[in-house]
């Protein structure tokens, strides 16, 4: 079976998750930012996750990707470079 590549360590934003997927990660993980929100309140966890999803969607829009799978197929550098 193929191994999955997990981006982890220092990931704090949806943009970093989108970049990780564009660079080949199958998924991304974060701990500290989620734990920090959880220590405040359940509502902060929901707000944090909603912000992450929003940031991923913004990154996808800017990159012209319709879904996360499309991020994997985008060129990382302009063709002219």
Q: Is residue 58 included in any domain, yes or no?
A: yes
Q: What is the pLDDT of residues 52-65, one digit of tens each?
A: 999 999 999 999 99
Q: Is residue 80 included in any domain, yes or no?
A: no
Q: Is residue 28 included in any domain, yes or no?
A: yes
Whole-angstrom distance between the N-terminal and C-terminal Cα of the chain?
35
Q: Is residue 81 included in any domain, yes or no?
A: no
Residue given tokens 């799978």 in the structure block: 69
Pairing of strands 6-8, 27-29: parallel
Range of the domain at 15: 6-70
Model confidence at 75, in pLDDT bands (50, 70, 90)? confident
| Contacts of 38 by beta carbon, 8 Å cutoff, 6+ apart | 44, 45
Q: Which of 34, 39, 2, 41 is nearest to 17 (CA)?
A: 34
**What is the value of pTM for the model shown?**
0.85
The DSSP output letter for 23 is: T
Q: How many domains does the chain have?
A: 1
């Amino acid at each position: 079976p193929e191994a999955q590549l997990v981006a982890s360590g220092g990931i704090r934003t949806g943009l970093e998750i989108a970049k990780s997927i564009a660079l080949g990660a199958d998924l991304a993980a974060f701990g500290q930012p989620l734990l920090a929100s959880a220590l405040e309140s359940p509502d902060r966890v929901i707000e944090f996750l909603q912000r992450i999803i929003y940031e991923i969607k913004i990154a996808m829009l800017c990159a012209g990707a319709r879904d996360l799978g499309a991020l994997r197929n985008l060129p990382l550098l302009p063709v002219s470079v």
